[in-house]
Structure 1
């Protein structure tokens, strides 16, 4: 062991394998190699007593424990709330599946516009679809975008730009944009949760933490549910199987959310039910009113 060696992280004098000032392990030449990086990754993924798997187990099977410990200041044993939420987002990004947060062009615009964009691919009766709430503003925006791009194409010697092309360009990136914008739900849903649990004397940031944990559970659960529905439809499961699975999923999600609020905030059944309603109904409300409008506008701009 080299004498009088300084810690590479903080500069303190090392007296052993670990720095007494910052806790970092003594840096050796082998730490620069790929084998060391792979060993760290393997240790993280296989350490069942570590923070990663312990946090995931607590999130899934002990709803509200992460919230309660965070509010009480017991935070070292768990992954930070934002890290857990980002981990759920990574799963969402990597999953080759569509979720309820993904919205195609045809599912955003009024039926007549969708039918014109889809052409022969349009489903029967699509003209009757009223479109999303933002249609009052965005329908005119679609027309202007097509007109501007068409004029640009023709001015450069092209054959023009059509609504069908806009739909294809939009759908090509809509999934990625929707995944990137998922976090937009959190601050708005946290405000609704704060209103529902007024009087609990919790900071807004603590309501944000609860909401982050809620979405960290909701996103992978929704993906798993969607995959199960597709599996049933693909293999022609029993009649009513999708309905039964949907009811089971919604019931389990409602029970999990109620328990999260009850344990996390330490409130009674009534207040817990009100908080769970704010999380569940608030997510739907924010999705319909805020998220879909922003997702459509940003995707349209980027397409």
Structure 2
């Protein structure tokens, strides 16, 4: 997926250049279709009327210049996108399209830059190493292994010692002490990870099955025992392959994020379903511009968080507030919505988007497990 992202980014970037760095022989027949080329491009087939039979150094310099030189559309698009929400969308829908970068091209480029930044910084700063099941074991990980439906926790010896130390504290009130004692009882009833973990970091399946059998009722049916064993085996597989799951999540995250764009367009369609002057095309363009802003802003925040980790909490708060204000103004300007209805639709859109993102995240985790 990372190679696909790089290719998409290069393709998107190439669409922002003018090709002015290649000399053109206008007034001559097009080498592709034979039609006379009046200006830079053939009006029949669209091919650039440039002769590439030139010195190698000249070709290299022209190619580099063509790669890194962006035309004025980008610099006209970015200020409106960031500082005047909805204005570029409104202009684009009114037919003023030539002066701006095409919405999907800008969206694709922004998403590629965001995920490349996220993955690069995450690898260098170790962000992904914090999402380990090992850390979850320190707090206790519940598994539904009991035939009664009660969760059986897997905990570490360090966690048990920590709970006992807290119980020995004289500062606990009676309610907190009873709650902590119940936590200790549940943890002691569970499976201690040191009993089933081998020196090579893998789970001893025989020891795990023995622990599961010890916690099952002696009258448990064969089906109940098999179900408990399968759950335990799956949990052990997750523990042993957590790095692979992380790689799968990184591979599929960009694809699932792309799915959010048509979903956002659909939500906008439903919010403005009774506006007959608005078409699905309008909502798609709006969704593209909104997500482009989110990707670009999130990229900036990622870089700032990498440089100043202490500001991460403030960046998240500022990002949420910025998104609320941006969506409100986007709807106000693009659709001409009144203040009250714009705020109401903004809140509905944010709540619905949050639910959809939770669902997509759950599907992402499920897919990463299924493909491993």
- Per the TM superposition, whether the score is higher than 0.5 is yes
Change (3 A) 1:287 1:105: farther
Q: Which residue of 2 aligns with 1:173?
A: 248
Q: Hey, what's the Cα distance between the residues in 2 that align with 1:244 and 1:163?
A: 34
Q: Hey, what's the Cα distance between the residues in 2 that align with 1:11 and 1:278?
A: 57
Q: Which residue of 2 aligns with 1:89?
A: 111
What's the CA shift for 1:199?
2.6
Change (3 A) 1:165 1:59: same
Q: How does 1:185-264 map to 2 (within 5 A)?
A: 185-201=260-276, 202-233=278-309, 237=310, 242-264=312-334
Please list every run of 5 or more consecutive structure 1 residues that lacks an aligned counterpart in the other structure: 108-116, 131-139, 148-160
Change (3 A) 1:209 1:3: closer
Q: Hey, what's the Cα distance between the residues in 1 that align with 2:328 and 2:60?
A: 45
Q: Which residue of 1 aligns with 2:165?
A: none
Q: Hey, what's the Cα distance between the residues in 2 that align with 1:270 and 1:22?
A: 51
Say which structure, 1 or 2, has more relative contact order (CA 8 Å, 6+ apart): 1
8 Å CA contact 2:93–2:282 kept in 1: the answer is yes
Count of residues paired in the alignment? 255
TM-score by length of 1: 0.70
Q: Hey, what's the Cα distance between the residues in 2 that align with 1:78 and 1:22?
A: 23
8 Å CA contact 2:86–2:330 kept in 1: the answer is yes
Alignment RMSD, CA only?
3.7
Change (3 A) 1:206 1:229: same
Please list every run of 5 or more consecutive structure 2 residues that lacks an aligned counterpart in the other structure: 1-23, 145-226
Cα deviation digits, residues 83-133 of structure 1 (max 9, x gap): 1110111112311245xxxx98997xxxxxxxxx824x4364353799xxx
What's the CA shift for 1:64?
0.6
Q: Which residue of 2 aligns with 1:158?
A: none
Q: Which residue of 1 aligns with 2:64?
A: 38
Q: Hey, what's the Cα distance between the residues in 1 that align with 2:260 and 2:27?
A: 52
8 Å CA contact 1:55–1:79 kept in 2: the answer is yes
Q: Hey, what's the Cα distance between the residues in 2 that align with 1:292 and 1:59?
A: 28
TM-score by length of 2: 0.58
Cα deviation digits, residues 49-78 of structure 1 (max 9, x gap): x11222222211121122112221221111
What's the CA shift for 1:293?
3.1
Mapped pair 1:118 → 2:133: yes
Q: Computing the radius of gyration over CA atoms, which structure comes out larger, 1 or 2?
A: 2
